[in-house]
Structure 1
């Protein structure tokens, strides 16, 4: 019973991450590839068939494999992510009144950007 519950939760996580990745195709500030990588990771724990489909995908499969094998993030993805985080920061400054969100979210995005740019590139 416990193993069945774990499998269902891993599958649910994989589907949720994949859905966010698909939404990211249309929403500029929501990244697609990190969510697809997350979906493959969760699928590997509860849905091996989905994991294999994601690894075999012509567009996202190479990104997933590069991340798993070498922790690689392509330069183009780094640039896009940095621009998206910068745009989000500007947007937050003009639309949010909570100082915690106006300054906290950009601080987190800055930390993510520093981490991202320290990852190896292909």
Structure 2
């Protein structure tokens, strides 16, 4: 893997990690989907970061609960998609001035949305 690809994967892993940590603190922001995305990006870029995330006392439990088949509550999936697309559309229309970067961002958000939609949904209203 080249340095640029690895750096981008680590960047997105860290971005979703930060969003996951915010989700631990703020009740309206989902946690598990963001941490799963961080684990996905770290898993493809850095063994060290991936192991740290999975073994973290606080954050690792969200990932292990998901791996045990608990899934993600449907309400959480909806919240994640709303936040994801709100930030994507805001960035594309008001922040980014480059068509190329906007298209790349759009492709990334479509891929992330596909991944979130492919995750098992549970009936539980609480986030795990």
CA shift at 1:44, angstroms? Answer: 7.1
1:1-122 aligned at under 5 Å gives the runs 20=18, 21-23=20-22, 25=25, 32-33=31-32, 34-35=34-35, 38=39, 42-43=51-52, 51=56, 53-54=57-58, 61=61, 63-70=62-69, 72-92=71-91, 93-122=93-122
CA shift at 1:95, angstroms? Answer: 1.9
**C-alpha spacing 1:71/1:118, structure 2 compared with 1 (3 Å):** farther
Normalised by the size of structure 2, how large is the TM-score?
Answer: 0.53
CA shift at 1:64, angstroms? Answer: 2.8
Normalised by the size of structure 1, how large is the TM-score?
Answer: 0.55
Q: Larger relative CO (CA 8 A, sep 6+): 1 or 2?
A: 2
Q: Which segments of 5 or more consecutive residues in structure 2 lack a partner in the other structure?
A: 1-13, 43-48, 123-128
**C-alpha spacing 1:113/1:101, structure 2 compared with 1 (3 Å):** same
> Root-mean-square deviation (CA), in Å?
3.8
Q: Which one has a bigger Cα radius of gyration?
A: 1
Is contact 2:71–2:120 with CA below 8 Å preserved after alignment? Answer: yes
Aligned to 2:45: none
Q: Which segments of 5 or more consecutive residues in structure 1 lack a partner in the other structure?
A: 1-15
More helix by share: 1
